[in-house]
Every structure is written in structure tokens, then in C-alpha cells.
Chains A and B, each alone.
Chain A
Amino acid sequence: MITKPLISARDLRVTFELPSGGMPWTPPRLLQAVGGVDFDLMPGETLGIVGESGSGKSTLARALIGLVPATGQAQWQDGTNLIGLSPRKMLKYRSEIQMVFQDPLASLNPRMTVGQIIAEPLTTHHKGLSRDEVKRRVKDMMDRVGLLPNQINRYPHEFSGGQCQRIGIARALIVQPKLVICDEPVSALDVSIQAQVINLLAELQRDLGLALIFIAHDLSVVKHISDRVLVMYLGRVMELAQAESLYADPRHPYTQALLSAVPIPDPQLERQKRMIPLKGELPSPMNPPSGCVFRTRCPRAQELCARERPVLEGGAHLCACHFPGKLMAEELAKSA
């Protein structure tokens, strides 16, 4: 039997209207934060999403969970399209999809105790539970994520960053979701704490059979935890492949540039490494380049790239580029 994907996104778009600043009848300026993203996520799988700041990673996550209005399709396992559901219908799916946020302390209400914070999704989705039952489950969950259950009455400011992130994870897991979206869950933490939190996530995923969407800009973290990796640039998918395949054989010039920037913890190798410098900055999403969005910074860009948008193709290792493949030395020299 072929398992159905847990969530399957087709042509997912998020467009923000910016105030035009002119008269009320002047059309608003449009900012396309996510421009047609396709992917499938299997139950229990981890999908890493990487890309530089402003590439639309977080917006994609917020669109899936219904925090920003989107268009297109995001089909849940049972066939429902999650995009554009009314709040009432969406409520049922909100307990299936939970989110872990970037800033551990800011994502917890400073005026609520840890117990109240973790219990909130539970009391929202299971209204009939008695107070003792809620407390018991909260304590179980605290134990599970490595917090002392007797700290249930403490407030967020009494915890360290890593502990706050554990609280955030406990809050996400208490309603037994099928999918947890982690929006840069470790980028605000120390490296040693990052490892703890990532291992905790991986362990919980294994035990509970969760699917994870793991957003980060740290490529080594993503490699460690992900089954598949999706590379985004300016709201579009550049490359989507199995993690090993993507890291061993990056086909898109953008992915190659990203990977070349990862430092290697060995000074000799690091010195020999060839960096692929990217010129300029991310183009404005209000006025994206024609054709391939990456062409303005691509060392291999040709006339075709400006004319036609490349489609995402390539079987198991998907890549959206007219001229995929490893960059040659002379191309690098040209770009430098």
C-alpha cells in the first residue's frame, strides 16, 4: 500500500498587499512572499526548508497553519484543502498541526505560568477535560521534554532559553499533533543547547511518529535532522531532494553557493575550500526578476534564464534550473 502524503502543497502562493500610499483608488502594491510552492510531506518524515533571510520560509510555514492568507492548495491527508478554510472548520486541523517558534522567550506569555502555557492548546481542543486530568497531562509532557514537573507554577522569565524552547515544544506536542512546524527553533540558542533541543525533537519525532517541517538557515543543522531538504529563494523552490543526495550532489547553482558557505571544522580543509561568492543582495520580492528569479546573482545565467522560468523537474532529485550541474572553475572565476 502506498501511504498518502500527510500534507501535499500545490502552487501555494502568499501575496501581501502593501498600502500604495496614493489615493484610495490606486491599486495596492503586491508583494509575493511565496510564489507557487509544491511539495509532499509523508507521515513521520522531516522536511528541512533552507534559504536566506527573506526567502519566504517562515511565510510558507505561517500559510500552512493559516496565520497568513494564502492561495493554492495544501491538501491534508483526509483530502481537505487547508487553504482558505473558515476558522471554524480549520479548528479541527489546528490540533493536528502545531508550531514551535523562533524566539523561545517571546513565544511564551510572560504573565502565565508554564502550566497554563502548556495547557492552553489542550483546553482549547479538549474542553471536557477535568482540571486534574489537564494537570496530569501537562506534568507528563513536561517530564517528557526534560523539564521538572514540579516547576509547573513557574513563569517563563525564570527559565533559560533552552528550557523555554522545551516549554514551547511541550505546548506543541500536548495535543498529539501529526505535524509540527519548527520555525528556526534553534537559531536563538547557544550551540550546545541547539544540539540538546534538536536531539530532543528527533527523539520525540521517533517516539510519536511526528512529521516535521524544520525551517532553518543553518545548513548543518538541517542536514542532521532532515530526510529531505527544500531550498527556497525569493519565495520559490530551487531544489528539493533527499538530504544525502542534496548535500553530496547539489545541482542548483544557488544550493552550491549556500553549501560552499558552510564552514568546515578543519582549518586545512577550510582553507582549501572554494567559496562561491554571490554578488549583490536578494532582489525585491515586489519586483522579482523575469524568468528564473536567481538569474541576477547566478554565475551561469544566460539569456534563456531571463526569458523562461525553469520548472522543478528531475524525478527524486528535483531542481529548478535551465543549466543544472556542478559549477566549473572558469565560471567561478568569472563570477569572482
Chain B
Amino acid sequence: MIDTQQMQSLAARMTEAEVKGRSPWADARRRFRRNKAAMVSLVILILVALFAIFGNSLAGWSNEEMDFEVMGNAATMGMPSFANGHYFGTDDLGRDLFSRTVQGTQVSLMVGLIGAGIAVIVGTLYGATAGYVGGRTDAIMMRTVDILLAIPYMFVLILLLVIFGRSMSMLFLGIGLISWLEMSRIVRGQTLSLKNREFIEAARATGVPGWKIIIRHIVPNLLGVVAVYATLLVPLMILSESFISFLGLGVQEPLTSWGALISEGAGTMNYGTLWQLIFPLFFFCITLFAFFFVGDGLRDALDPKDR
């Protein structure tokens, strides 16, 4: 009697719907959600992104208009007010600082994300290939990286911008050229430690081709490290773009970025127009902080051994 009952319950269990697995990613997500600082930072980042995307429809003035009433005496009439529609005030030329900040946020975020994106794609594939293939290929590939890293990149970037003219595409190219180097080193190191794990050996023994082992076995196991490093790379990219723009070599008027706005604001802060510095600087700082906290949270979430 009991036996049949047991058999029936066993049979029911066997035919039960497929159990859903809890992936390592789901675990990491759970750990990340419990990290308050990282979650708050994530919300801030989302708000900054929404500000960049929808800010223009909130603005009272477009970034192409000049308020001729304010022009010339920004210190007295251009301060932030809701009455005249300049929520963040205006700059010396009477341009609305709110829409300028929206524009600067768009550019800066784009530089950061594209720079980090290039680093992730190129750096991961390059590093994983060098590490997995090993031997002479590895030596040549990594010495190339060493040589490129030895060149002072800020100098190269400035030269590029001076020779080929200042343009957004040149900026992206310059930042993209250098951003993947560090990443490829980190990824190679990780690949070397993964390469001799038994599951890679199992895949090789079965005859899975090399590129498939890299894509299917090595890269997914690297993504934790890559994600952490990429989130920390975004603020670095924003910083270097801002530095270039602060020097006056970055994006060109009428385009602007946080660095360019901060530079302008810093130039006029002695004339009583402090808002021209405060607003771009505020967005710059909270975004950088938020990225660093999110990166920290990701590291804790993806690498629980580290705590």
C-alpha cells in the first residue's frame, strides 16, 4: 500500500514541471539589492539618466536661444528663478543653464558609456584571446598593450584633437583607443586562472572549438570582474573627458559637457555668478559618486569571497 503511494508521489514528482534554477546572476542580484548605498546610487544614476533624456522637455528655454534681456548682466538678472524660466540661471551670454546642463549631461554620459563600452568589448575579447591561446601569441599581444600603455595617453589625445581638429568623433576615437588597455590586462589575468579549471579541460576534451570555449565558458565567468571594472571605468572616462574639456580641447561649442560647463563656471565665479559653477558641478559629483558606489556594490555582489 505504502509502496504504491510512494511510487505515485515519485511519479508525480518526476513529471512535475521543470524546476527553475537559481543562477549565479540571480544570487548576485539579491546581494546587490540588499546593499543600500549601491541601491540609492543606482536610483540617482537612473534619475540623472532621465534628466539627460527628458530634461529638454522640462526646460523653459532651448539651448539654442539666448535671453537678450539677461545678456551682459548675468550677475544681476541671470540668477536661478522660476519667474523667467531659467531654473538654473543663465551664463554670461544669456543662455539657459538648465538646458545647457541637460546637454552637457547627455554628452558626458555618452562619452563615459561609449568609452566603457569599447573597453568592455575590445578589452574582454582581446584579453580572453591572449590568455586562452597563450604562448607566443600571448606574449606579442600583451607586449603591444604594454607599449601602448607606456605612451602618455593624455598627450596623445591632445595631439589627436589638435591635429585632426576638435570633434566628437575624434574624442570618442581617442578615448576608445586607450580605454581597453587596462581592461585587457585584467581580463587576461582572470583568463589565465580560469584556463586550467577542469570545466575548460572538459570542453577541450569534447572537442569544442577554441573560439566557442572563449565565448561560452570563459567570457561568462569573467563578466563579474568586467562589470565591476566597467562601472568604475565610466567615471574615469567622464573625468578624462572633463579634463580635456576643462583645458578647452574637448567638445566644441555649441556642444558642451560637464567639464566645459565647470570650466566656464569656474572662470566667472569671482563675478558673483556662482550658480554657473554649482549646478554642473553638482551633477558631475553625484554621478561620479553614484558610479563608484554602484561599482563597489557590484563587486560585493559578484564576488562574495572578497568580503
Is the C-beta of B24 less than 8 angstroms from some C-beta in chain A? yes
Q: A109-B199, A148-B13 are in contact. Are A155 and B207 (CB under 8 A)?
A: no
Which residues on B sit within 8 Å (CB–CB) of A98? 205-206
B17 touches A113 (CB 8 A): no
Contact present for B18 and A158 (CB under 8 Å): no
A91: which of B22, B23, B24, B207 is its contact (CB, 8 Å)?
A: B207
Instruction: Determine the distance from Cα of A101 to Cα of B199 in the docked complex, in whole angstroms.
Output: 9
**B217 within 8 Å of A by Cβ?**
yes
* B199 near A152: Cβ-Cβ < 8 Å: no
Interface residues of A in 158-184 (CB under 8 A from B): 158, 168, 171, 175
- Tell me how far the C-beta of A60 lies from the nearest C-beta in chain B, rounded to whole angstroms: 14
CB A10 to nearest CB in B, in angstroms, measures: 22
Interface residues in B200-242 by Cβ distance below 8 A to A read 201-208, 216-217, 220-221
* Cβ contact within 8 Å between A94 and B19: no
Residues of B within 8 A of A157 (CB): 24
Does B221 lie within 8 Å of A107, measured CB to CB? no
Does A171 contact B202, Cβ atoms closer than 8 Å? yes
Binary interface encoding of chain A residues 44-79 relative to chain B, with 1 for a CB under 8 A from any of its CBs, else 0: 000000000000000000000111000000000000
A90-B207, A94-B205, A120-B206 in contact; A149/B14 too (CB < 8 A)? yes
Q: Which residues of A sit under 8 angstroms from B25, Cβ to Cβ?
A: 111
A-B contact count (CB 8 A): 89
For B17, what are the chain A residues with a Cβ–Cβ distance below 8 Å?
150
Contact status A154-B206, CB under 8 Å: no
Which residues of B are found within 8 Å of A106, using beta-carbon distances?
197-199
A153 at the interface (CB under 8 A from B): yes
| Residue among B14, B198, B206 with most chain A CB within 10 A | B206
Contact partner, B21, options A66, A124, A148, A158, Cβ 8 Å: A158
Closest B residue by C-beta to A107? B198
Residue A113 contacts which of B21, B217, B221 (CB distance < 8 angstroms)? B21
Among B15, B201, B208, the residue within 8 A (CB) of A101 is B201
* Residue on B nearest A90 in the bound complex, by CB: B207
Given A109-B217, A124-B207, verify A101-B23 contact (CB < 8 Å).
Answer: no
Given contacts A103-B198, A151-B19, A158-B22, contact A110 B207 (CB under 8 A): no
CB distance from B112 to the nearest CB of A (A): 27
B16 at the interface (CB under 8 A from A): yes
B136 at the interface (CB under 8 A from A): no
Q: Which of chain A's residues 133-156 have a Cβ closer than 8 Å to chain B?
A: 148-155
**Residue B305 at the chain A interface, CB threshold 8 Å:** no
- The chain A residue with its CB closest to the CB of B18 is A150
B contact residues around A150 at 8 Å (CB):
13-19
For residue B307, CB closer than 8 A to chain A, the reply is no
| B191 CB to nearest chain A CB (Å) | 14
A171 to B198, CA, bound (A): 14
Q: How many residues of A contact B (CB 8 A)?
A: 39
Closest Cβ of chain B to A309, distance in Å, is 32
When each residue 109-134 of chain A gets 1 if its CB lies under 8 Å from chain B and 0 otherwise, what string results? Answer: 11111100000110011000000000
How many Å from the CB of B291 to the closest CB on chain A?
25
Residues of B within 8 A of A255 (CB): none
**A91 — nearest CB in chain B belongs to which residue?**
B207
Q: Is the CB–CB distance between A152 and B18 below 8 Å?
A: yes
Q: Is A102 an interface residue (CB 8 A)?
A: yes
Bound-complex Cα distance A125 to B207 (A)? 8
Q: Which residues of B contact A171 (CB under 8 A)?
A: 202
Q: Would you give the shortest CB distance from B281 to chain A, in whole angstroms?
A: 41
Residue in A109, A112, A120, A148 whose Cβ sees the most chain B Cβ within 10 Å = A109
* Distance between Cα atoms of A155 and B207 in the complex (Å): 23
Query: In the complex, are the beta carbons of B19 and A109 less than 8 A apart?
Result: no
Bound complex: CA of A111 vs CA of B28, how far in Å?
Answer: 12
A155 is contacted by which of B23, B205, B208, B216 (Cβ under 8 Å)?
B23
Q: Which residues of B contact A67 (CB under 8 A)?
A: 201, 204-205
Chain A min CB distance to B208 (Å): 5
Select from chain A the residue with minimum beta-carbon distance to B212: A124
Inter-subunit contact B199/A124 (CB<8 Å): no
Knowing A101-B198, A106-B198, A154-B19 touch, does A111 contact B14 (C-beta < 8 A)?
Answer: no
> Chain A CB within 10 Å — which of B14, B16, B18, B216 has the most?
B18
Give complex CA distance A325, B201 in Å: 41
Q: Quick one: which of A87, A107, A121 contacts B199, CB cutoff 8 A?
A: A107
Measured in the bound complex, the distance between the Cα atoms of B220 and A144 in whole Å is: 29
CB of A46 to closest CB in B, whole Å: 20
| Chain A residues with CB below 8 A from B199, complex form | 106-109
Some 18 contacts from A to B, beta carbons below 8 A apart, are: A102-B198, A103-B198, A109-B203, A109-B216, A110-B24, A111-B220, A111-B221, A112-B216, A120-B203, A120-B206, A120-B208, A149-B14, A150-B14, A150-B16, A151-B18, A151-B19, A154-B22, A175-B206
Q: Known pairs A109-B203, A150-B18, A154-B21; list 15 more (Cβ under 8 Å).
A: A67-B201, A90-B207, A95-B206, A98-B206, A101-B198, A109-B217, A111-B221, A113-B21, A124-B207, A148-B13, A150-B15, A150-B19, A153-B18, A153-B19, A153-B21
Interface residues of B (CB under 8 A from A): 13-25, 197-199, 201-208, 216-217, 220-221
> A residues bordering B, Cβ < 8 Å?
65-67, 87, 90-91, 94-95, 98-99, 101-103, 106-114, 120-121, 124-125, 148-155, 157-158, 168, 171, 175
